[in-house]
Amino acid sequence: MTDQMYRQPKDAMLGGVCRGLSQYFRVDATLVRILFLLFGVLTGFGILVYLALWIILPVPGESPATSRGERVQDVAETLTDRAAALGSEVQQVARHPLMVPAAAVTLIAFGAVLLLHNLGVRWMWWANPGTLWPALPILVGLAFLWRWIRGAS
């Protein structure tokens, strides 16, 4: 382990906190990112911890006199820029000619399955929310993987 914990904005996906923590604890940055994501999704507290570390942790070579106010402003500017970039990417995906029909058919099918289950259709025993909700992150993950594979070829 190193003596000092820093943010690493050069290799950052957002603020460099996870990269800095991974270097400090000598673990893979992807593992730290996954842990922050899980902690943030499950408790909501992970997001606050990340933002606090983003403000508190210095960048290597940064003057110690850099004020917290300047860091907060940097965090706000970075988040605004990332949100704008994400918004433009979402708009590009939404413009795909099959996006709206695919989303509509998926939602209709999902709703029909839950409705049939609630009406007591016997062969729909598996269609309860406790069984179907875990399928949502699996489907989102498969969609990302499919998009990545299509982009790689």
Domain residue limits, the chain: 9-92, 96-152
Q: How far apart are CA 78 and CA 83, in angstroms?
A: 8
Q: How far apart are CA 58 and CA 65, in angstroms?
A: 10
Query: Is pLDDT at 1 greater than 60 in this prediction?
Result: no
Q: How far apart are CA 126 and CA 40, in angstroms?
A: 30
Output DSSP code: residue 8: -
Answer with the residue of higher pLDDT: 137 or 19.
Answer: 19
The predicted pLDDT at position 152 comes to 60
Query: Is pLDDT at 33 greater than 80 in this prediction?
Result: yes
- What are the tokens at 124? 């729909």
Residues 16 and 10 sit within 8 Å (Cβ to Cβ):
yes
The predicted pLDDT at position 61 comes to 75
The predicted pLDDT at position 6 comes to 82
Quote the pTM value: 0.47
Segment holding 18, helix H or strand E: helix 17-25
